Amino acid sequence: MRIVIAEDDALLREGMAALLRDEGFEIVAAVGEVDALLDAVAEHVPDIAIIDVRMPPTYTDEGIRAAVRARAIRQGLPVLVLSAYVEQSFATELMESGASGIGYLLKERVGRVEQFLDILRRVTEGQTAIDPEVVAQLFARRHANDVLSQLSPRERDVLVLMAEGLGNGAIAERMTVTAGAVHKHIRSIFGKLGLSPDDRSDRRVAAVLRYLNATGR
């Protein structure tokens, strides 16, 4: 796996690079600025980019905007975005740039090596994976009369796990129910959210986007 890292904190940047090299990954570039990231993506055509949300010069949303631009340079480039805080608007903006290969992870998870590597691999394979803590905090902010109010408690639980990037089998295991029950809940979620089988978009990603938009501040 060929990886580009964009992180302005030199210590964290080099620490991640060393960790990933030790795990057998190839770090083709480790940079601290947005322009250098975009140049590296164009030059090296990586399998995935790991990008900090807050990059110079303003340390606001440069990382998210750079991730969207990087996915235009290398169509569908998987990106794993790192953030020190839960920032809902950034998560939804990034997911709207494409239907697959998106990860949103709190920086504190990088030290939990197995979890970090698992999410990295899943995003590289084209899955969508959002940090469980991000999901939990967004869910806690849910508006009383939002679009999620029509879902049953079980359906909300399933949608939360979908937002974490889990497949049906993993959701069934986490909830200790059958895969058939999970499939039934997901069909019901799609129906209640008005997501038709004829939609061109990935309905799982569309459902997660509805969830994230509904749980904004």
- The tens digit of pLDDT for each residue in 138-158 reads 555 554 345 677 888 899 889
Please indicate, yes or no, if residue 116 is contained in any of the structural domains. yes
CA dihedral (124, 176, 95, 20) positive or negative: negative
Cα separation, 50 vs 194, whole angstroms: 33
Each residue of 157-213: pLDDT tens digit?
Answer: 898 888 777 889 989 999 999 999 999 999 998 888 877 665 444 677 667 766 666
- State whether 195 and 151 are in the same domain: yes
Which tokens hold the place of 200?
């061109």
- State whether 117 and 168 are in the same domain: no
Each residue of 59-68: pLDDT tens digit?
Answer: 888 888 899 8
Please indicate, yes or no, if residue 136 is contained in any of the structural domains. no
* Adjacency order of strands within the sheet including 128-130: 26-31, 2-6, 48-52, 79-83, 102-106, 128-130
- State whether 120 and 30 are in the same domain: yes
Range of the domain at 161: 141-214
Each residue of 73-122: pLDDT tens digit?
Answer: 998 899 999 988 766 555 556 666 555 788 888 888 888 888 899 889 98
pLDDT tops 50 at residue 217: no
**b/e for 4-34, b at 16 or more Cβ within 10 A?**
bbbbbeeeebeebbebbeeeebebbbbbbeb
Q: Report the Cα 66 to chain-centroid distance in Å.
A: 15
Domain boundary among 74, 96, 130: 130
Q: Look up the CATH number of the domain holding residue 206.
A: 1.10.10.10
Q: What percent of the chain clears pLDDT 70, i.e. is strictly above it?
A: 78
pLDDT at 145: 44
- State whether 56 and 163 are in the same domain: no
- State whether 77 and 35 are in the same domain: yes
- State whether 100 and 150 are in the same domain: no
- State whether 125 and 207 are in the same domain: no
- State whether 25 and 91 are in the same domain: yes
Domain boundary among 130, 161, 188: 130
- State whether 25 and 79 are in the same domain: yes
Q: Look up the CATH number of the domain holding residue 80.
A: 3.40.50.2300
Please indicate, yes or no, if residue 189 is contained in any of the structural domains. yes
Please indicate, yes or no, if residue 121 is contained in any of the structural domains. yes
What's the pLDDT band for 44 if we cut at 50, 70, 90? Answer: very high
- State whether 106 and 160 are in the same domain: no
Q: How many structural domains compose the chain?
A: 2
Phi, psi values for residue 117, rounded to 5°: -65, -35
Tell me whether residue 69 is exposed, middle or buried, using C-beta atoms within 10 angstroms of its C-beta: 0 to 12, 13 to 18, 19 or more: middle
pLDDT at 215: 57
Please indicate, yes or no, if residue 135 is contained in any of the structural domains. no
Average confidence score pLDDT of the chain: 83
